[in-house]
Amino acid sequence: QQQVKQSPQSLIVQKGGISIINCAYENTAFDYFPWYQQFPGKGPALLIAIRPDVSEKKEGRFTISFNKSAKQFSLHIMDSQPGDSATYFCAASRSYGQNFVFGPGTRLSVLP
Amino acid sequence: DAGVIQSPRHEVTEMGQEVTLRCKPISGHDYLFWYRQTMMRGLELLIYFNNNVPIDDSGMPEDRFSAKMPNASFSTLKIQPSEPRDSAVYFCASSPPPGIGAYNEQFFGPGTRLTVL
Contact check, Cβ <8 Å, B4/A43 = yes
pLDDT tens for residues B15-56?
999 999 999 999 999 999 999 999 888 999 999 999 999 999
User: Would the CA dihedral through A49, B74, B112, A41 be positive or negative?
Assistant: positive
Nearest-by-CA chain A residue for B104: A96
Confidence label for B1 from pLDDT (cuts 50, 70 and 90): low
A40 interfaces chain B, CB cutoff of 8 Å: no
> Which of these ranges, A16-20, B73-77, B101-105, has the smallest mean pLDDT?
B101-105
Confidence label for A98 from pLDDT (cuts 50, 70 and 90): confident
DSSP line for chain A: ---EEEE-SEEEEETTS-EEEEEEE--TT--BEEEEEE-TTS--EEEEEE-TT-SEEEETTEEEEEETTTTEEEEEESS--GGG-EEEEEEEBSSTTPPPEE---EEEEEE-
Q: Chain A partners of B48 at a C-beta cutoff of 8 Å? A: 99
pLDDT tens for residues A9-67?
999 999 999 999 999 999 988 989 999 999 999 999 999 999 888 999 999 999 999 99
B111 interfaces chain A, CB cutoff of 8 Å: yes
pLDDT recorded at residue B48: 95
